[in-house]
Amino acid sequence: MNVFRLTGDLSHLAAIIILLLKIWKSRSCAGISGKSQILFAIVFTTRYLDLLTSFISLYNTCMKVIYIGCAYATVYLIYAKFRATYDGNHDSFRVEFLVVPVGGLSVLINHDFSPLEILWTFSIYLESVAILPQLFMISKTGEAETITTHYLFCLGLYRALYLFNWIWRFYFEGFFDMIAIVAGVVQTVLYCDFFYLYVTKGWFSRPYRL
């Protein structure tokens, strides 16, 4: 555990909590892509199956349980409790164009050809592109609420901090995981355009326009 890893995890947690609270307090999921949230729920489920097979630390277990729980809670709020406010017409990204290639790639390029390892690889690849339905939705409607941009910023910052974590671990521990690093770079790059807009336009203005 180093400072980049810890702040990355906390940033990820902050993003998840911000989104849950935003939907809960406003009693609306307008502007939020339910498809992205389903993809994140799939990501956490397929990655954290090792909760059943191995114990790493109390921190690790608690965070995994919180991430999974919050992901399903978010999906529940969007598709059940506040379904009436869900903007399905604008959430029109074709997720099969992500899930099918990602599934194929995880079978082809992985650390070990075993079910658990393939599912873990699938989750890493899927996470790197899971935000695309959300970004697509914002580009389609042309605006996002300020709180939604804070969510996206924390979510992007989390993977960027993980990149620094991997540089740190490579130098001080000789640790590196090529699959996670390549997917993490892709994931961070997808946020670059958004980071730029967030800093230059989204900081104080409201509502946020692209």
Partner 1 sequence: CLRTPVKDEL
List interacting residues with partner 1 (CB under 8 A).
5, 9, 12, 50, 56-57, 60, 63-64, 67, 110-113, 117, 120, 162, 165, 175-180
**DSSP H or E run through 209:** strand 208-209
User: In 3D, which of 45, 97, 35, 38 has the Cα closest to residue 67?
Assistant: 45
Beta carbon nearer to partner 1, 60 or 146: 60
Beta carbon nearer to partner 1, 50 or 87: 50
Minimum CB separation of residue 110 from partner 1 in Å reads 7
Beta carbon nearer to partner 1, 96 or 112: 112
Minimum CB separation of residue 75 from partner 1 in Å reads 19
**Identity of residue 37:** Q
**Alpha carbon distance 121, 59 (integer Å):** 22
Would you state the structure tokens that stand for residue 93, as one six-digit string?
Answer: 């990204």
**Burial class of residue 64 (count of CB atoms within 10 Å of its CB; 0-12, 13-18, 19+):** middle
Beta carbon nearer to partner 1, 55 or 204: 55
Those residues with Cβ within 8 angstroms of residue 142's Cβ, 6 or more apart along the chain or in another chain? 209, 210
Minimum CB separation of residue 197 from partner 1 in Å reads 27
Beta carbon nearer to partner 1, 97 or 170: 170
Q: DSSP states of 134-153 as a string?
A: HHHHHHHHSEE-HHHHHHHH
Minimum CB separation of residue 182 from partner 1 in Å reads 11
Minimum CB separation of residue 177 from partner 1 in Å reads 4
